[in-house]
Structure 1
Amino acid sequence: MSSGTEHEDRFRRVYAGNFQPLLAYAMRRVEQPEDAADVVAEVFLVAWRRSRELPPEAEVRLWLFGVARRVLANHHRGGARRERLGERLRHRLRAAVGVDPGSEVPERLTVQAALARLGELDREVLMLTFWEGLEPREVAAVLQVSSAAVRTRLSRARARLRDLVGDDHGPPGHVLDVMAVPTPEEGR
């Protein structure tokens, strides 16, 4: 047997003999089972990379637990960083949107369903005008059509959307109020 094969066989024995105890160790220290699997995978990656330095059989499990402890510490630090980043992003989104994005979900779903029933060009004209804040000449440039065509399509699309959604726009500030805003006129 070559030394490479002996080396691989030893690693297989270390893996087979320690996978379950390491998985149990990790499972007790993370919130999600898939995180425990990731931790164990990373422990064995470290063990594979350093396999020529593994301690004797009697000490290898303790060495693996030490590696797992460091991997878990990194995992928890990474989780804390991700949580802080997520909180900053949520804060920025709330500031940019002005309200909790989930507060108007039913109305948004109604509008999205109605938009889906419009033709592709009408839907795009509405979305570019109201969601992206473009003027008809800008929408025309994006869609490569005339400004007059955009104004005509916008008028028809708004009327069709009102028909699909209904006239009950709900309380002021409702998502559908945007459809009642006059179309920007561009010094015709």
Structure 2
Amino acid sequence: MSPGAEQDEDRFRRAYAEDFESLLAYALRRVAHPEDAADVVAETFLVAWRRRQDIPVAGAARLWLYGVARRVLANHHRGGVRRQRLGERLRQQIAASVTDPGSEVPERLAVRAALSGLAEMDREVLMLTVWEGLQPHEVAAVLGVSAAAVRTRLSRARVRLRALVGDDPGPPGHVLDVLTASTRKED
């Protein structure tokens, strides 16, 4: 390693040892969350490491690091604004395309209650088939059994669920109706 490179590394080490705490305090006073301050300081010292040959000597290093931290904070705040805008756009898209989950609470409670009366394997076969949309050969791969075993378990699980729900699982298209419907041609 050349003497200049050694001096650059020594200057970086000194700046880190001497100025880490003051830079952390600087960042903590300017961000909403402590973890963001830690990110700002880490990024500041990453820039300092990459530009270690530019770190001024003696007391000027601290001021130089504050300048770097200030620019890192500006980038951090701009990124936060972009994330907020993106989040708002996503919330608007979700609101436009997804129904209110609160309207499904009674239905979900009824489904959970009915499913809780089944054995774990019956419940898993039904959920993988109906909710995840997997075919019997795919469910078989997930569970490590044969597709024929899945079809048998699925049929039995639907019969057991129908017995738990009774003769009227709900209006056509209701989740319980879908869960208890006869097995379609699935392979």
Q: TM-score of the superposition, structure 1-length normalised?
A: 0.68
Identity %: 52
For residues 73 and 114 of structure 2, the distance between their equivalents in structure 1, rounded to whole angstroms, comes to: 43
For residues 29 and 118 of structure 2, the distance between their equivalents in structure 1, rounded to whole angstroms, comes to: 47
Q: Which residue of 1 aligns with 2:131?
A: 131
For residues 114 and 85 of structure 2, the distance between their equivalents in structure 1, rounded to whole angstroms, comes to: 32
Deviation at 1:97, TM superposition (A): 4.0
Deviation at 1:102, TM superposition (A): 10
Question: Deviation digits for residues 85-126 of structure 1, max 9, x if unmatched?
Answer: 33444444444542238974973994698399421xx34541
For residues 17 and 123 of structure 1, the distance between their equivalents in structure 2, rounded to whole angstroms, comes to: 60
- Do residues 86 (structure 1) and 87 (structure 2) align? yes
Q: Which residue of 2 aligns with 1:100?
A: 101
Counterpart secondary structure, 1:67: helix
**Could you tell me which of 117, 120, 135 is aligned with 1:118?**
120
For residues 101 and 84 of structure 1, the distance between their equivalents in structure 2, rounded to whole angstroms, comes to: 26
Q: Which residue of 2 aligns with 1:22?
A: 23
What is the correspondence of 1:13-52 to structure 2 with a 5 Å cutoff?
13-52=14-53
Determine if contact 1:158/1:179 at 8 Å carries over to the other structure.
no
For residues 31 and 3 of structure 2, the distance between their equivalents in structure 1, rounded to whole angstroms, comes to: 40
Q: Which residue of 2 aligns with 1:180?
A: 177
Distance 1:78 1:24, change over 3 A: same
For residues 112 and 15 of structure 1, the distance between their equivalents in structure 2, rounded to whole angstroms, comes to: 61
Q: Which residue of 1 aligns with 2:143?
A: none
For residues 111 and 70 of structure 2, the distance between their equivalents in structure 1, rounded to whole angstroms, comes to: 46
| Structure 2 unmatched ranges of 5 or more | 141-145
Structure 1 stretch displaced more, 77-86 or 58-67: 77-86
Deviation at 1:132, TM superposition (A): 3.6
- Give the aligned residue type for 1:82: R
Deviation at 1:82, TM superposition (A): 2.5
Distance 1:180 1:113, change over 3 A: closer
Determine if contact 1:15/1:44 at 8 Å carries over to the other structure.
yes
Question: Deviation digits for residues 29-82 of structure 1, max 9, x if unmatched?
Answer: 111111111110110111111111122323222221111111111112222222
For residues 112 and 93 of structure 1, the distance between their equivalents in structure 2, rounded to whole angstroms, comes to: 29
For residues 103 and 12 of structure 2, the distance between their equivalents in structure 1, rounded to whole angstroms, comes to: 50
- Do residues 140 (structure 1) and 139 (structure 2) align? no
Determine if contact 2:23/2:69 at 8 Å carries over to the other structure.
yes
Counterpart secondary structure, 2:120: coil
Deviation at 1:149, TM superposition (A): 6.4
Distance 1:74 1:183, change over 3 A: farther
Question: Deviation digits for residues 152-185 of structure 1, max 9, x if unmatched?
Answer: 533421344567xx659xxx89xxx412233365
Q: TM-score of the superposition, structure 2-length normalised?
A: 0.68
